[in-house]
């Protein structure tokens, strides 16, 4: 478990944190299991599912603690959004003391899962193992500064086969109002909710799995937010100096033509083809931050383009944007592409630094999974899945607050929440080695 801060006062700070959040749970009797569950997530241990956490938190009464925690996470009808709003209200001020919100990062994460009955499980791409496999996938929105980031929304993606299966929905307790949505559509809903809540705005960052979705990019722009969106190499744009033909002249009969036209010499190109045709002087090395062992640097170019998605159905081209391209000198072809609505005066260095800030979501998921057991929930239902994720984010928020209180030049944190002794011979289910 990552250190939580200096040892002095950590227990009292944790108590104050969970007591404030317990008011969002709806009933006073939920405060005790809430504290116990968050404590179990923060304590060291191989598994962060209900049974082993119960044994760590209350080793003298494992059975009763297991029953209490299971009911709290799987069945109790508290509101995930209310708890996450409470976490946000407690943690964001600590983040903002170290600097402004720079970015809103949208992404998804996959959690391998056996069987077919756990809510939303399907054979789909799982980033954790880097291939198609049986897993659950959830979409999230995180707010990031230069120093830390906090997830503020987290929702399971329900595949279309699940969304249309009334029997499986009923068994898993999927709410009636939840219908099939693509992951970009879920992300856009999360952004709209964050806007309605008045969260500090930032540049919206996304990888190509989201950035290639024109409706999502248009939706972000409609909310008056800027973005840096990863796109695939096949996405087409109008390069500098190339334009579509205007609509056909009106014959005087029927409606006047309004659609732009394409013709030889008036056609968009893929971003890959555009990148490979750029002059050598367009490319420049950029260093964006310090890595673990050395500065992180690569070679980039940026040009102003007009995205070309379905503009033959439009009366005018889409607005001009930045196309940012990464092509390391030791690679045979470009490796990454981004579209960005940042200002035309944005420098290449600033474009790269902003695009690369998306690494913070990878740090979030790494800690949420490895340290806090995000993927360890063993229940099958919609409510339990989201309750467990909310509690993991709650525990993570406490870690972030503790770290934010440490001055950049201060000593490394060293304290932990005290760990009770486990019952002799205890061995959690789903674990090859007892903690």
What DSSP letter does each residue of 55-79 carry, written as one string? HHH-TT-HHHHHHHHHHHHHT----
Residue 32, domain member (yes or no): yes
**In 10 A of CB 145, how many CB atoms?**
22
- Of the pLDDT bands very low, low, confident and very high (cuts 50, 70, 90), residue 246 is confident
Residues 216, 190 share a domain: no
Average pLDDT over every residue of 126-137: 90
Residues 380, 347 share a domain: no
DSSP category for residue 231: E
Burial (0-12, 13-18, 19+ Cβ within 10 Å), 229: buried
pLDDT at 338 over 70: yes
Residues 280, 374 share a domain: no
Residues 201, 220 share a domain: no
Residue-number span of the structural domain to which 319 is assigned: 210-239+265-357
Residues 218, 188 share a domain: no
Structural domain count of the chain: 2
Average pLDDT over every residue of 55-78: 95
pLDDT at 421 over 50: no
Burial (0-12, 13-18, 19+ Cβ within 10 Å), 12: exposed
pLDDT at 116 over 90: no
Residues 150, 226 share a domain: no
Average pLDDT over every residue of 347-369: 95
For helices 50-57 and 62-74, the axis angle rounded to 10 degrees is 130
Least confident window among 133-137, 190-194, 262-266: 262-266
Residues 384, 277 share a domain: no
Residues 125, 21 share a domain: yes
Average pLDDT over every residue of 218-246: 94
Residues 223, 198 share a domain: no
Question: Which residues lie closer than 8 Å to 179 by C-beta, 6 or more apart?
Answer: 163
Burial 45-75 (b: 16+ CB within 10 A, else e): bebbbbbbbbbbbbbeebeebbebbbebbbe
pLDDT one-digit tens code per residue, 148-189:
999 999 999 999 999 999 999 999 999 999 999 999 999 999
Residues 174, 322 share a domain: no
Give the three-state DSSP class for 6: coil
């Amino acid at each position: 478990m990552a250190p939580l801060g200096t040892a002095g006062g950590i227990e009292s700070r944790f108590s104050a944190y969970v007591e404030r959040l317990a008011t969002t749970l709806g009933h006073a009797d939920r405060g005790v299991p809430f504290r116990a569950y968050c404590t179990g997530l923060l304590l060291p241990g191989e598994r962060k599912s209900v049974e082993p956490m119960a044994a760590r938190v209350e080793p003298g009464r494992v059975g009763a603690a297991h029953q209490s925690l299971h009911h709290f996470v799987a069945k109790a009808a508290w509101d995930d959004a209310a708890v996450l709003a409470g976490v946000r209200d407690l943690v964001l001020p600590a983040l903002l003391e170290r600097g402004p919100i720079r970015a809103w990062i949208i992404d998804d994460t996959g959690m391998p899962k056996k069987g077919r009955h756990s809510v939303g499980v399907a054979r789909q791409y799982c980033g954790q193992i880097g291939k198609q496999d049986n897993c659950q996938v959830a979409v999230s929105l995180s707010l990031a500064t230069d120093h830390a980031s906090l997830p503020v929304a987290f929702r399971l993606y329900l595949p279309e086969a699940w969304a249309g299966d009334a029997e499986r929905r009923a068994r898993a307790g999927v709410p009636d109002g939840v219908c099939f949505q693509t992951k970009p559509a879920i992300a856009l809903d999360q952004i709209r909710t964050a806007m309605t809540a008045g969260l500090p705005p930032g540049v919206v960052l996304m990888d190509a799995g989201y950035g290639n979705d024109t409706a999502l990019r248009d939706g972000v722009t409609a909310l008056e937010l800027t973005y840096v969106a990863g796109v695939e190499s096949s996405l087409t744009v109008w390069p500098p100096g190339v334009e579509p033909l205007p609509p056909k002249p009106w014959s005087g009969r029927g409606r006047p033509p309004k659609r732009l036209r394409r013709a030889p010499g008036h056609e968009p190109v893929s971003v890959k083809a555009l990148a490979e045709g750029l002059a050598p002087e367009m490319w420049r090395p950029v260093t964006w931050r310090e890595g673990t062992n050395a500065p992180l640097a690569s070679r980039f170019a940026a040009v102003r383009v007009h995205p070309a998605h379905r503009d033959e159905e439009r009366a005018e081209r889409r607005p001009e944007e930045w196309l940012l391209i990464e092509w390391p000198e030791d690679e045979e072809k470009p490796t990454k592409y981004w579209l960005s609505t940042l200002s035309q005066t944005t420098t290449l260095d600033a474009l790269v630094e902003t695009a690369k800030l998306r690494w913070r979501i990878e740090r979030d998921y790494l800690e949420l999974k490895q340290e806090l057991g995000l993927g360890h929930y063993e229940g099958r239902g919609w409510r339990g899945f989201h309750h467990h994720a909310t509690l993991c984010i709650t525990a993570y928020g406490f870690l972030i607050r503790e770290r934010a209180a440490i001055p950049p030049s201060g000593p490394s944190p060293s304290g932990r929440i005290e760990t009770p002794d486990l019952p002799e011979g205890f061995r959690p289910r789903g674990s090859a080695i007892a903690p």
